[in-house]
A and B are shown apart, each in its own frame.
Chain A
Amino acid sequence: MSNDVLFTIEDLEVSYGSIAAIKGISLEVRKGEIVTILGANGAGKTTTMRTISQLIKAKAGSIRFKGHELTKLPAHKIVKLGISHSPEGRRVFGVLTVEENLMLGAYSRRKVNPETLRWIYEMFPRLEERRKQLAGTLSGGEQQMLAIGRSLMSDPEMLLLDEPSLGIAPILVKAIFKQIKEISRQGVTVLLVEQNAKAALKLADRGYVLEVGRIALDGPAAELLASDKIQEAYLGKKH
């Protein structure tokens, strides 16, 4: 892990109409890190991710990636810069096949990188077996693999993962988290949103805890995992 900061958010504010969802957060991600954003339902995790991808426009603050100010860009230009987003709820193209979904993941690079495709199929052999199957007929876990695979097809430098464990059996969550580690090992920086705090902190280098639109806590993952506050609020352990 090097110390080059790849990505920063500064004093970000996001509102839905008159309701403030993000009330001034700042965070940074260094090259090669796995950083996790934790928080309860409605804390603003998905809002943060969608604002990074410019699907929602920020009200104030800045989001910078490798010297580019993202808040000034339209959503479709973000992936070209090297940030790929696997959204909450997977959002795979249900009536297209697995393979067609993966091809769309490579839309921004124009040509599919065969090595990337190979690598994705190695990580998720299930996708290769089912490449002609309609994505909407895959199981929830398989759809999550597809969503992650699709977001890797653009060969991103940074991957945004919004709750990859959502609605998935524990055994599959384990498998998926193992592959997130593998993705990271291949040099992709990862920003991971999770409610499953324990699993996320075991995987991550650092974490931020979001509480109703503000960062309540941040630090190295091991410290967060050991902190009383996290233990109580997210891991259900009482002392």
Chain B
Amino acid sequence: MDTFLQQLANGLTIGSMFALVALGYTMVYGVMKLINFAHGDMVAASAFVGLMVYTQILGQTASLVGVVAIFFITAAIMACIGVTLERVAYRPLRTAPRLSAVVSALGASLVIQNGIMLIWGPRMRIFPELVPQVYWHVGGVIISMMQVIILVLSLILMVALYLFIEKTRMGAAIRASSLDQDAARLMGINVDSVISLIFIIGSSLGAVGGLFIALYYRGITFDMGWQYGLYAFIAAIIGGIGNIPGAMLGGMLLGLFSAFISGYVSSTWADAFTFMLLIGILIVRPTGLLGERVAEKV
């Protein structure tokens, strides 16, 4: 029972990080039908940008205000990079064959990854301990303050995103653009702005995810975007790529699943089981758990 509750807590923490990153994949896919392979590397970059903000701007001291500032500045920087990425790597290929954009995405992934390596070096960096190491023992389970912060902030961000998409005019524009871009234009929706907005939101959430990963695991490397990106991408597919609540659900499920595998089987098997889970879900539900399937009459 203790293992169960402990892994539940760990799984929810990891899952919320996956979910934040998965949202970036799913939102871009939703509107552009493109897998933004560079997203994982953007997440890795945000850990290094956060480190830079900490050392260069805050002079290595961090109050609560300082930590909050790291999040906001990093998210803003990553949002700018995300918008630029779309302008440079994807927009010129909007009408090109699908494969061109995929190749461009892979190229962008390499450019960002190598960019991180050139700027910050190939060796692992240790992210500062910005959140006090406070632990609570709750019924035989150890929960850290870091875990609570990650979980609570992630949930707040996800609820906020959900409400934004469902309840606001801009959210309606995003939904319409993801369903039919030409029909959206006929409604007066500026699809180019919607795409920029998608990259702003996706990159910012990815930045928060990247900072959480850095704060939680501490060791950050230039190529870590590959691993976390892949997990988040799988989470997006499990939930039904293009579907926003799906990415949240997929992330949480994947986090819980890998935590339970680590807890009950062995962490070395976590990756293999994760892929088995993915395959299993896709066999039963090819469009993912919340993937939409409404018969469109022709």
Contact = CB atoms under 8 A, between A and B. Distances in A.
A108 B187 CA distance: 7
A108 B172 CA distance: 12
Contacts of B294: 94-95, 134, 136-137
B186 A55 contact: yes
Nearest to A85: B186
Contacts of B187: 79, 104-105, 107-108, 150, 154
Contact of B297 (A76, A100, A138): A138
Given A87-B186, A167-B298, 17 more contacts: A53-B185, A75-B185, A76-B189, A78-B186, A89-B298, A93-B179, A94-B296, A95-B179, A96-B175, A96-B179, A104-B176, A104-B184, A104-B189, A107-B172, A107-B176, A108-B188, A110-B169
Contacts of A107: 169, 172-173, 176, 187-189
A93 to B, nearest CB: 5
A128 B296 CA distance: 20
A110 B189 CA distance: 11
Nearest to A76: B190
A140 B297 contact: yes
Contacts of B169: 107, 110
A221 B297 CA distance: 33
A137 B182 contact: no
Contacts of B175: 93, 96
Interface string A49-88: 0000101000000000000000000111111100011010
B180 interface: yes
Interface string B172-211: 1101100110111111111100000000000000000000
A154 B188 contact: yes
A93 B183 contact: yes
Nearest to B297: A140
A95 B179 CA distance: 8
Contacts, number: 80
Contacts of B183: 87, 91-93
Interface in B146-175: 169, 172-173, 175
Q: For the side of the interface on A, what is the size category?
A: 35 or more
Contact of A55 (B185, B189, B295, B296): B185
Q: For the side of the interface on B, what is the size category?
A: 20 to 34
A104 B172 contact: yes
Contacts of A136: 294-297
Interface string A120-153: 0000000000000010111110010000001100
B292 interface: yes
A143 B298 CA distance: 10
Interface string B33-64: 00000000000000000000000000000000
A25 interface: no
Given A95-B292, A139-B297, A103 B186 contact: no
Contacts of B297: 136, 138-140, 143
Contacts of B179: 93-96
A76 B191 contact: yes
A103 B188 CA distance: 12
Contacts of B296: 94, 136
Nearest to A166: B298
A94 B292 CA distance: 10
Contacts of A53: 185-186
22 contacts: A76-B185, A77-B188, A78-B186, A80-B188, A85-B186, A87-B182, A91-B180, A93-B179, A94-B179, A100-B172, A104-B172, A104-B176, A104-B189, A105-B187, A107-B173, A107-B187, A107-B189, A110-B169, A137-B295, A143-B297, A151-B186, A154-B187
B186 A93 contact: no
A100 B175 CA distance: 11
Interface centre among A84, A103, A136 (most CB of B within 10 A): A136
A134 to B, nearest CB: 6
Nearest to B186: A85
Nearest to A79: B188
Nearest to B172: A104
Nearest to A92: B183
Contacts of A143: 297
A192 B169 CA distance: 30
